[in-house]
Amino acid sequence: MFSGDYLMAVAFFFERENGNPLGENELAEIKEHGLEFADAEAIARQLQLSLGGNPLSADARASIYWALSKRFDDSLLPFFQESLARELGEDNSPVFQVMIALDNLNQPVFSKGREGSFSVLDDELNRGDAAAYLKEIN
């Protein structure tokens, strides 16, 4: 299981790999967790595999999806789509984080009527949008 601090460092690492400027604190987190010279693809695969192993709490799954969403990698699209279908029957927090990841990949997962206003607290709206998106892509 990954700690929240490690996943935060991974998110910073992915942001750095995408060319986003980071501050001293973010760079220190990357270094503290030994990620300065890590392989982004290998880390992403490791995170994906962790979701298929032992049962994880909703919070742990949401944190992993959140970190992966910072990758902005189109090759993760099928993974996120499959994850959305799997998570839809579960807790809201992972569903929302997968939706954010899909949105980061320019997928129309949130209905246009929401006009960019998304929240993990909008459980019913999120589930409705997720179901509509899955129906559209299948």
Burial group, residue 132, by CB count within 10 angstroms (0-12, 13-18, 19+): middle
Burial group, residue 73, by CB count within 10 angstroms (0-12, 13-18, 19+): buried
The HSE-up count of residue 90 (CA atoms within 13 Å, CB side) is 18
The HSE-up count of residue 108 (CA atoms within 13 Å, CB side) is 8
CA distance 17 to 34: 15
Mean pLDDT of 71-96: 92
pLDDT at 54: 72
Any residues with CB less than 8 A from the CB of 49 and at least 6 apart, and which? none
Mean pLDDT of 45-71: 92
Q: What is the pLDDT of residues 107-137, one digit of tens each?
A: 999 998 887 788 888 889 999 999 999 999 9
Task: Give the distance, in angstroms, between the CA of residue 76 and the centroid of all CA atoms in the same chain.
Answer: 10
Mean pLDDT of 92-98: 91
Kindly report the pTM of this predicted structure. Answer: 0.92
pLDDT at 98: 96
Q: What is the pLDDT of residues 8-57, one digit of tens each?
A: 999 999 999 999 999 999 999 999 999 999 999 999 999 999 998 678 99
